[in-house]
Amino acid sequence: MQIAERIKTDVTTAMKAGDRDRVGALRLVLSELQKAAKDGDADEQAVLRRERKRRRESETAYREAGRRELAEGEAYEAGVIDAYLPAELGDAELEALVAQAVAETGAEGPRDMGKAIKHVMAAAGGRADGKRVSTKVKEALG
């Protein structure tokens, strides 16, 4: 079942349970998925990762501004989105992918970071944040 279809089902379930916060979060995500599908973007996981990233960035901004209640709302929505994404790679798995990418691309220094990062991101299949990958590749080549 597609992610959007699962979310539609979960919206109904949350409505019946009276979970207004979850319904709101799911509807926002569903709206973004439907917009992306209308624009021809069929990669639902990419849309979910983008939306999760937006929520995390908003959470950080609200926390820095002292708006705890808004930050908690954003954190909750990011958590709801996380439930529909595959689990992130652990550090050991990511380091193994980085080592493999460095070996396969022949990367030797900071100049070759782009090649290695591209290789790791493709191998991770959306299960690793770009910032984490960049940091790990930099450590490996640094």
Instruction: Provide the pLDDT for residue 141.
Output: 85
> Structural domain boundaries of the chain?
3-82, 91-141
- For residue 103, count CB atoms less than 10 angstroms from its CB and return exposed for 0-12, middle for 13-18, buried for 19 or more: exposed
Using only C-alpha atoms, what is the Rg of the chain? 18
* Pairwise CA distance, residues 132 & 130, whole Å: 5
Instruction: Provide the pLDDT for residue 25.
Output: 94
Instruction: Provide the pLDDT for residue 109.
Output: 82
Least confident of 3-12, 26-35, 76-85, 106-115: 106-115
Instruction: Tell which residue, 20, 17, 23, 19, has the closest CA to residue 8.
Output: 23
- How far lies 142's CA from each of 87, 89, 135, 137, in Å? 28, 22, 10, 8
- Percent of the chain predicted with pLDDT > 90: 55
For the 91-141 domain, the top CATH level (class) is: mainly alpha
Query: At 80, is the pLDDT very low, low, confident or very high (cuts 50, 70, 90)?
Result: very high
Instruction: Provide the pLDDT for residue 118.
Output: 92
Two structure tokens written together for 78: 């990011």
The sign one gets for the Cα dihedral 38, 83, 10, 76 is: negative
For the 3-82 domain, the top CATH level (class) is: mainly alpha
128 with 87: CB under 8 angstroms? Answer: no
pLDDT in tens, 95-141: 999 999 989 888 888 888 889 999 999 888 878 888 889 999 998 88
pLDDT in tens, 52-72: 999 999 999 999 999 999 999
